[in-house]
Amino acid sequence: MQRMSAMNRKLIQNLAETLCKQVKHFNKTETECLIRLFNGLLGEQAERRAAHGLDRVRFRNILHNTFGMTDDMMMDNVFRAFDKDNDTYISVKEWVEGLSVFLRGTLDEKIKFCFDVYNLHGDGYISREEMLQMLKDSLIRQPTEEDPDEGIKDIVEIALKKMDYDHDGKVSYSDFEKTVKDENLLLEAFGNCLPDAKSTLAFEQHAFQELHGH
């Protein structure tokens, strides 16, 4: 058993060394902590699934319990943005890469991440229909409104007017990038898909607690 854990430690160190060269924002020790956290989460999954990586259910639990996300559609979209190879599981590399942007990304990286989350059909554009779908899910409906969809349609038209620089009726990546660089507050215009400062801090304190001597 002792030998096994020493071997595991060595494997984790080697993996961390490789990953921290490929991923920005985490040093080797932090990467090791994230790999250990990932392995711990895998341990809670059925063995058959754990071989592939983190499944959607386990990942959504983290988004909900740790980062306070409640919108089903948004959580699925964040899962999709992390799951770069679309195999419906998050590998250890996708976990570390995704968290590096999710927790510590630059504005450019976060713009790319949010665009990937909002681009539901993966066609490189955010369409009117996609905006409608996302805003419908994320806006709280007032019971007094006669037709809540009408209000959302108005918001979509305002968003398009503001973001659609080339007037083709949809928002491309460069439209989205220009808009957000002009007005940073519009980064999460179509729903919360990034953690707030408080939950980022809480997650990092938990993940990196041994580094801070707790």
Residue type (1 letter), 16: A
The pLDDT assigned to 42 comes to 86
| Cβ neighbours of 204 (radius 10 Å) | 18
**Based on C-alpha coordinates, what's the Rg of the chain?**
19
Angle at 118 between CA 110 and CA 21, to 5 degrees: 35
C-alpha dihedral, 20 to 68 to 71 to 101, nearest 10°? -20
Report which of 176, 180, 151 is spatially closest to residue 166, judged by C-alpha positions: 176
Q: Determine the distance from the C-alpha atom of residue 122 to the mean position of all C-alpha atoms in its chain, rounded to a whole number.
A: 15
The pLDDT assigned to 137 comes to 76
Is pLDDT at 5 greater than 70 in this prediction?
no
Q: Decide: residue 33, CB within 10 A, 0-12 exposed, 13-18 middle, 19+ buried.
A: buried
Per-residue tokens: 80: 């999709």
Instruction: Considering only residues 201 and 146, tell me which one the structure prediction assigns the higher pLDDT.
Output: 201
Q: What percent of the chain has pLDDT over 90?
A: 76
Q: For the chain, where do the domains classified as CATH 1.10.238.10 start and end? A: 1-104+196-211, 111-186
Question: Helices 72-82 & 56-65, crossing angle to 10 degrees?
Answer: 120
CATH code, 111-186:
1.10.238.10
* Tokens 């709280």 -> residue: 140
What are 129's strand-pairing partners?
none
Query: In this predicted model, what pLDDT tens digit does every residue of 115-166 receive, in sequence order?
Result: 999 999 999 999 999 999 999 877 765 565 566 678 889 999 999 999 999 9
* Tokens 């504005």 -> residue: 107
Report which of 38, 56, 176 is spatially closest to residue 108, judged by C-alpha positions: 176
Query: In this predicted model, what pLDDT tens digit does every residue of 55-102 receive, in sequence order?
Result: 999 999 999 999 999 999 999 999 999 999 999 999 999 999 999 999
**Half-sphere exposure (Cβ direction) of 44: Cα atoms closer than 13 Å:** 12
The pLDDT assigned to 148 comes to 65
Distance CA 62, CA 143 (A): 31
**Half-sphere exposure (Cβ direction) of 33: Cα atoms closer than 13 Å:** 17
The pLDDT assigned to 140 comes to 64
The mean pLDDT of 31-58, rounded to a whole number, is 82
CATH code, 1-104+196-211:
1.10.238.10
